[in-house]
Amino acid sequence: MNREQDLEALRRMLRIRRFEEAAMDIVRKGQGIAGSVHICIGQEAAIVGSCLALRDDDYIVGYHRSHGHPIAKGAPLGPLMAELMGRRTGVCHGKGGSMHLADFGVGSLGETAIIGAGIPQAVGAAYSARVRGTDQVALAFFGDGAANIGSFHEGLNLASVWGLGVVFVCENNLYAMSTALADTMASESIAARAAAYRMPGVVVDGQDVAAVFDAVDAAVERGRSGGGPTLVEARTYRYRDHAEYGNMDLSHRPPDEVEHWRSRDPVELFRARLLADGVAEDQLAAVAESAAGEVRAAVAFAKRSPQPAPEELFEDLWATPLDAAPAEASR
Amino acid sequence: MRTMSYREALREAMLEEMRRDPAVVVFCEDGRFWTMPTNGFVDEFGPDRVPVMPISEEGFTGAAIGAAMTGLRPIVDYTIANLMYVAWDQIVNHAAKNRYLFGGQASVPIVFRAAMKYANATAAQHSDRPYPQLMNVPGLKIVVPTTPADALGLLKSAIRDDDPVVFFEPLRLWGVKGEVPDGDHLVPLGKAAIAREGRDVTVVAIGDAVPAALKAAAELARQGVELEVIDPRTLVPLDKGAILASVDKTGRLVIADPAHKTCGAAAEIAAIVAEDGFSSLRAPIARVVAPDVHPPFSPALERLMYPTPERIAAAATALVGSPKELAVP
């Protein structure tokens, strides 16, 4: 990454962190986020490093823990926060909520609450690019838990036999809810599974945004130039419980594990590196303040946005409404 | 007019739409095999639009959704309706819901083709008629054509529709020939056909119950009982107006459907008429449908499963009662 990209990476990581802290705060205070909220704090480098390697017109597909993905792809924050709050100004008009953010304006093709199901959809987006004659690539985000479901294997196989420009990015945070990956995976690593599908499998330090960028950038380049798909396994960590339950219980994890990973916080690591590289502290503070300000504005926008009206219940279901049946019937 | 089989009509519809619109692609396991309606397509449209397909229903259905949300119009052919179950999550949780979940940001214009091999001695895993299950899923349009002309016109309309359409084909009808209009023949979704007019009993028939009902009507006409046979053609959207208008005329309703009885299409149609056409009814509604048991392999047993002309005629006759009663307007 060049210096401009460095600062953009920091800005986007901080947007995600402040956005999620704000969401947790709203949940905690009962101020209007209903339902399940899955926080990705700790995983920001894997998300931002991946998205910065993409062009604006490239595609991403997310999963249930995916507030960070459209943010990293450049989506405006206000409609995302309004969506979490179920408001009519939400990016999905309040129909999707936390687990189904999508912003097609920045190539975010949406998120699914069904583990692994987005993986073949990303394959289809890359296939579509080929048929339409563009060189867009598609990137599928998923967690370690998804590496055991059929759609992961079917998606990788399809992308490989069709030679498509897909980057599969696994954010391996070691736990599927509270189930340890080591207890559920019969291979040495997730990346090792790439060999079965005749594609490169790369393990990268998911706390190092520059390392993730480099790995995904190479995979994107490969995909865009017709070289086929790549599987990138970013080793990362989630600080929070599976979802926000009101209180947190991480007793399913070994003692000291959380502290170990917190000592490798992706935002702090990168800030320290930029300082060591000679970036002025003022400049970093300005980036941090602008990210915090954007999130404050997003929260204010969401909170003052109206609730959806009852007649909006049926909106967005059909592209062509059902009530178009002509009166006469004959054959 | 042209004459072609139902199967040829399917092929013709796909050919015409693929020639018209470069966004139309076909996903089909073994779609290049000589028995398939898409045989030879790869020669005209190339391997990108007719890709080789692994046996991977969940994977390629997901891929079709991703393609549909980014500008293509895939036709996904499961070849046997039961194979859709392997992709149920992608169809029900994603194709049907993505447009709504994402606030209308993207449509999912896919046609899911599903041939139903019932009454063909293929046992329970190849013989389902799954449309009632999917009528329970908002966001999917559901089509069951019964003539070559409708197969052509409805498949072309389905391909052009911006919503996901599930297109059920009774395999027993694939070989049936019929006249098909020339030119760009389109049949709109949501418009029933009156397959035969009659004044005494309305028979709403689905799938190959339509030809069975027409045979029953021909037989009963000789006895002075006139059936009006309504073919809904699409179950979602359902042409309620055509059904209610016919029942208003006849006062009697038989629903003939090869799918299971419980929560079936026939149950839904009966409920609609009971709610909105009760005052028209001169007799209870009768259903001639498959019992709630799996299709058995043995032809001797499977023969007991589906609507036949005899069963439809018996149900209609029971509703009209004696000829004397029939004469009362």
Chain B contact for A319 (CB, 8 A cutoff): yes
> What pLDDT shows up at residue A329?
44
Alpha-carbon distance of A8 to A295, in angstroms, equals 16
> What pLDDT shows up at residue B322?
54
Q: Please write the tens of the pLDDT for every residue from A213-231.
A: 999 999 999 999 999 999 9
Please name the member of B22, B103, B192 whose beta carbon is closest to the beta carbon of A93. B103
Alpha-carbon distance of B79 to B116, in angstroms, equals 8
Alpha-carbon distance of A228 to A132, in angstroms, equals 17
Scan residues 291-310 of B and list those with Cβ closer than 8 Å to A. none
CA-derived radius of gyration, chain A = 20
Chain B contact for A37 (CB, 8 A cutoff): no
Scan residues 207-226 of B and list those with Cβ closer than 8 Å to A. none
Task: Give the contacts of B279 (CB within 8 A, at least 6 positions apart).
Answer: none
Closest by CA to B110, choosing from B98, B125, B95, is: B95
- Pairing status of strand B141-143 against strand B111-116: unpaired
Q: Match 């070691």 to its residue by tokens.
A: A174
SS3 state of residue A212: helix
SS3 state of residue B249: helix
Q: Please write the tens of the pLDDT for every residue from A21-67.
A: 999 999 999 999 999 999 999 999 999 999 999 999 999 999 999 99
Portion of chain A with pLDDT greater than 90, in percent = 95
pLDDT grade for A255, boundaries at 50, 70 and 90: confident
Closest by CA to B288, choosing from B305, B263, B303, B302, is: B305
pLDDT grade for A323, boundaries at 50, 70 and 90: confident
> What pLDDT shows up at residue A324?
52
CA-derived radius of gyration, chain B = 20
Alpha-carbon distance of A234 to A44, in angstroms, equals 11
Alpha-carbon distance of A127 to A228, in angstroms, equals 11
Q: Is residue A8 predicted with pLDDT exceeding 90?
A: yes
Task: Answer for the pair A78, A51: CB distance below 8 angstroms, yes or no.
Answer: no
The pLDDT mean for chain A works out to 95
Instruction: Say if residue A254 is preceded by a cis peptide, omega within 30 of 0.
Output: no
Please list every residue in chain A whose beta carbon sits closer than 8 Å to the beta carbon of residue B71.
128, 132
Q: Which CATH number fits domain A3-314: 3.30.1330.60, 3.40.50.970, 3.40.109.10, 3.30.70.1230?
A: 3.40.50.970
Alpha-carbon distance of A49 to A13, in angstroms, equals 9
Is B260 part of the annotated catalytic residue set?
no
- pLDDT of chain B along its 329 residues, tens only? 999 999 999 999 999 999 999 999 999 999 989 889 999 999 999 999 999 999 999 999 999 999 999 999 999 999 999 999 999 999 999 999 999 999 999 999 999 999 999 999 999 999 999 999 999 999 999 999 999 999 999 999 999 999 999 999 999 999 999 999 999 999 999 999 999 999 999 999 999 999 999 999 999 999 999 999 999 999 999 999 999 999 999 999 999 999 999 999 999 999 999 999 999 999 999 999 999 999 999 999 999 999 999 999 999 999 998 544 554 44
Closest by CA to A143, choosing from A121, A119, A122, is: A119
Structure tokens belonging to residue A145: 């838990």
- Torsion over CA: A327, B2, B3, B7 (sign): negative
Scan residues 133-192 of A and list those with Cβ closer than 8 Å to B. 138, 150-151, 154-155, 157-158, 161-162
Mutate to test the interface with A, among B49, B50, B56, B70 (most CBs of A within 10 A): B70
pLDDT grade for A247, boundaries at 50, 70 and 90: confident
Residue type, A278: G
Alpha-carbon distance of A56 to A46, in angstroms, equals 18
Chain A contact for B89 (CB, 8 A cutoff): yes
Q: Is residue A87 predicted with pLDDT exceeding 80?
A: yes
Cβ contact, residue pair A325, B52, below 8 Å = no
Cβ contact, residue pair B194, A331, below 8 Å = yes
Alpha-carbon distance of A318 to B64, in angstroms, equals 18
> What pLDDT shows up at residue A331?
52
Alpha-carbon distance of A45 to A50, in angstroms, equals 8
What secondary structure letter does DSSP report for B279? Answer: G
Cβ contact, residue pair B194, A330, below 8 Å = yes
Q: Which CATH number fits domain B2-180: 3.90.580.10, 3.40.50.720, 3.40.50.2000, 3.40.50.970?
A: 3.40.50.970
Alpha-carbon distance of B112 to B132, in angstroms, equals 15
CATH number of B193-320: 3.40.50.920
Q: Is residue A266 predicted with pLDDT exceeding 50?
A: yes
Alpha-carbon distance of B92 to B321, in angstroms, equals 44
- Domain layout of chain B by residue ranges: 2-180, 193-320
What secondary structure letter does DSSP report for A103? Answer: B
Can B2-180 and B193-320 be said to share one CATH topology?
yes
Helix (H) or strand (E) segment spanning residue B3 = strand B2-5
- Domain layout of chain A by residue ranges: 3-314
Q: Please write the tens of the pLDDT for every residue from A290-321.
A: 999 999 999 999 999 999 999 999 999 999 98
